[in-house]
Amino acid sequence: MAKAKKDKGGWNWRTKVFWTEGWGSLGLAVLIALFIRWAFIEAYVIPSGSMLPSLLIHDHIFVNKLTYGLRVPFSENWMAKFSEPKRGEVIVFKYPRDMSTFFIKRVVGEPGDKIFYENGTLYINDKPQEKKVPVSDADFKWLRDADFQRDNNIYDGKDNYTHFTEALGDKGHSILLRKGDVYETYGPYIVPEDHLFVMGDNRNNSSDSRVWGPVPKKNILGRAMFIWLSCEETIPALPFLCNPLTIRWGRFFKPVE
């Protein structure tokens, strides 16, 4: 009876073809992609204007999932922790009221911090966070009236907002405040252990910890890294795809700050 020949490395040639050219190679590629997505990096799309002007609607971002640690697959439990989220970082996390929904916000309060918000000013541990006139209006220039006219809010628009740079930690970031609004007062509130207090940069149009409470650290998925694709509109029949005629080329590889 004829036997399959082996190559010099001792591999059966059918086995070798299976893993290099057949279904085995496809399965291996899928496993590698899933491993990278689980442990290292994952792509997300910004669906709303709560982080304007730092992140625009239809910005596509990469999220670093390894920066804070490594999780048990399909679990909120940590296998290993490398660092803790810091004030000022933009994180993606599972929404505490619906773990199947993902949110993106900025960390403004760490465990033990005292949070107070009044007249558009954020206070952390009784210290007001300084708001400055931005050195650059590059973030603000990307905004359109259409970004504010979602959810039947047809009378809102870009001119109704003021752009500031707010300092949290060592770096500044853009925020928006609505002109002439009577700003809500929130707090004081002490962030509990193993939780974070998060807010959107579009302060008057963000559902965040002021509404639904702090984020458990176990819900964190990773830290936003950079924008790899951005467009003003998607294809109507395929809303998960960018309309190539509306691509914002200038936002490619912009870091999330």
**Which residues participate in catalysis according to the annotation?**
50, 105
Cα dist. 135→105, 173, 211 in Å?
23, 11, 31
How far apart, in whole angstroms, are the C-alpha atoms of residue 230 and residue 228? 7
47 token code pair = 């669906």
User: In this structure, what are the phi and psi dihedrals at residue 216, rounded to the nearest 5 degrees?
Assistant: -60, 140
Pairing of strands 59-64, 69-71: unpaired
Q: Which residues lie closer than 8 Å to 192 by C-beta, 6 or more apart?
A: 111, 214
User: In this structure, what are the phi and psi dihedrals at residue 147, rounded to the nearest 5 degrees?
Assistant: -70, -20
Angle (CA) 78-55-232 rounded to 5° is 125
User: In this structure, what are the phi and psi dihedrals at residue 32, rounded to the nearest 5 degrees?
Assistant: -65, -45
42 token code pair = 């994952």
Query: Which among 56, 54, 38 has a CA at the least distance from the CA of 46?
Result: 56
User: Residue written as tokens 């299976």?
Assistant: 18
How far apart, in whole angstroms, are the C-alpha atoms of residue 197 and residue 208? 8
Q: Determine what percent of the chain falls in helix, strand and coil, rounding each to the nearest 5.
A: 20, 35, 45
